[in-house]
Amino acid sequence: MPYTLLKQKNSYFKNLSAEAQQRFVERVYKFMEDKYFVGREGLVITDEIRVLISAAAVQLTFGLKDYTISHLHTINVFPKVFYSRLFETSFKGLTTQGGVLSISWDDFREGYASGTDKLNLGLHELAHALNIDMDEEGSYDDHFSWHFEKWKAAASYELQRLKEGSITFLRKYASTNIHEFFAVCIEHFFEAPSQFRLALPVLYGHTALMLNQDPENTQEDYKVKTIAEYFGSEDVEEDIPLQESADPVITALPSPDEPASYQPKEQLKRFINANGIYVAMTATFIGLFLGIPLLIWFVSVTIVNIGTLMMLIFLCGAVGLIQWKFVKHHIDMEYHHFAMYAFSGFAMCFLNFLLFLNLNFPVSGRTETYLIDRFRIRIYHGSIDVRLDDAALERNLTTFLNEHFTEIPDAKSLTITYNTGLLGFDSISDCRFN
């Protein structure tokens, strides 16, 4: 199916040799396996959607060894232009530093319907993803990284010329910033390579070297030319290396007429991709609506002051934030939403768990006797009321006395038995009037 679909819908693929097409399809399957595709606003994710979006990414990175754009983990596909509540505006495509790409399927298809209009939403957004992959320390290609710095040096000059109106080949939107300039250059590079080379030969040469492919060279699977052919023998930069081959030819591939079989992801990754957002939402719900009442109860039976409690919540939230490092490539969630989960969900659940261990697994105990005058104990509105300078002990002693006594005995002293838990916090295990 992919071979037929790609030949019909992707002109870049059609120009490849049979051997290169096999390598291209292998990369498409690997990219599809690595990313989580989500249909939004009622759109059902089909094989066509997954194959064609993956093919756009493979087209962009076909000359590179590391081609999966590892920082990108989730691709949201909307039926048409969509509204972002975060940015409070509508988009055709949006790529975030959190590793989530959102795209309008109608506009993606339109980008490939015409291969010469220099407008291709898929390539544009995936160019942003490739750029972010390097900025966010993904598994980016060293060849691309090295040449990208050379490309930026040339692009900065052309960007200024574009802002001044000296360039008409690139559309004006490219002058927004260097990131948009890069994405627009990628669109022009693949859709109008000959015009690009004639209009901006130096920038074209750097783009070809950076991506290790030349869309003009359709006869040799887009093989990149020599440095001298791009810059002229007198202008050759001797320190620019060439990457010989993107990767070895893969021979163990599905035939064009048979469905492919490939190794599934690890079960844990699949679970996180499919259910990570729901697990985080559930944890947040439990933390807010069950965790807070439970925390209040633990505080009533554990001698801990409010300042210490707030510090523990912050530390547990910080531990929750550390999870982002491990799940950011697999979970469909923006960082600010993840932070809310870390402090409202994870922190509350984790802190309750720690207080549970502290209460139920004492490591030591002690007994102390106090003169009854110190406690100012009285019956108030049918319950025992205690007044102390120590707020934490006051709170716990009030709870314990109301659970075990109905009236205040006539006594001169009070003996309290404390248990010290795993976290070092005391709880009252016994109380006796003397």
Work out the average pLDDT over 19-37.
92
Check whether 140 has a pLDDT greater than 80. Answer: no
- Report the range of poorest mean pLDDT among 8-17, 205-214, 297-306, 327-336: 327-336
- Residue 364 pairs in a beta bridge with 420
Domain boundaries, the chain: 2-263, 268-359, 364-433
Backbone angles phi, psi at 75, to 5 degrees: -120, 110
Q: Predicted confidence band at 180 (pLDDT cuts at 50, 70, 90)?
A: very high
Q: What is the pLDDT of residue 339?
A: 86
Check whether 236 has a pLDDT greater than 50. Answer: no
- State the Cα–Cα distance between residues 254 and 268, nearest whole angstrom: 27
The per-residue pLDDT for range 38-63, each reduced to its tens digit, is: 999 999 999 999 999 999 999 999 99
Mean pLDDT of the chain, nearest integer = 84
Dihedral sign from CA coordinates of 7, 8, 9, 14: positive
Residue 388: partners with Cβ closer than 8 Å, 6 or more residues away: 374, 375, 376, 394, 397
The per-residue pLDDT for range 111-136, each reduced to its tens digit, is: 988 777 889 999 999 999 998 887 65
Look at the domain 2-263 and name its fold: Collagenase (Catalytic Domain) (3.40.390)
Could you write out the three-class secondary structure of 261-312? Answer: CCCCCCHHHHHHHHHHHHHHHHHHHHHHHHHHHHHHHHHHHCECCHHHHHHH
Report which DSSP code applies to 209.
Answer: H
Q: What is the pLDDT of residue 84?
A: 84
Q: Predicted confidence band at 137 (pLDDT cuts at 50, 70, 90)?
A: low
Half-sphere exposure of 245 (CA within 13 A, CB side): 6
Q: Predicted confidence band at 409 (pLDDT cuts at 50, 70, 90)?
A: confident
Q: What is the pLDDT of residue 104?
A: 96
Higher pLDDT, 233 or 165: 165
Higher pLDDT, 278 or 139: 278
Q: Give residue 280's identity as a one-letter amino acid code.
A: A
Q: What is the pLDDT of residue 190?
A: 95
- State the Cα–Cα distance between residues 232 and 298, nearest whole angstrom: 76
- State the Cα–Cα distance between residues 397 and 164, nearest whole angstrom: 76
Report which DSSP code applies to 341.
Answer: I
Could you write out the three-class secondary structure of 342-362? Answer: HHHHHHHHHHHHHHHHHHHCC
Check whether 254 has a pLDDT greater than 50. Answer: no
Q: Predicted confidence band at 71 (pLDDT cuts at 50, 70, 90)?
A: confident
pTM for the complete prediction? 0.59
Half-sphere exposure of 229 (CA within 13 A, CB side): 11
Long-range contacts of 211-215 (CB under 8 A, 24+ apart): 211/60, 211/61, 211/63, 211/64, 211/144, 212/63, 212/64, 212/143, 212/144, 212/242, 212/243, 212/246, 213/62, 213/63, 215/12, 215/189, 215/190
- State the Cα–Cα distance between residues 51 and 82, nearest whole angstrom: 22
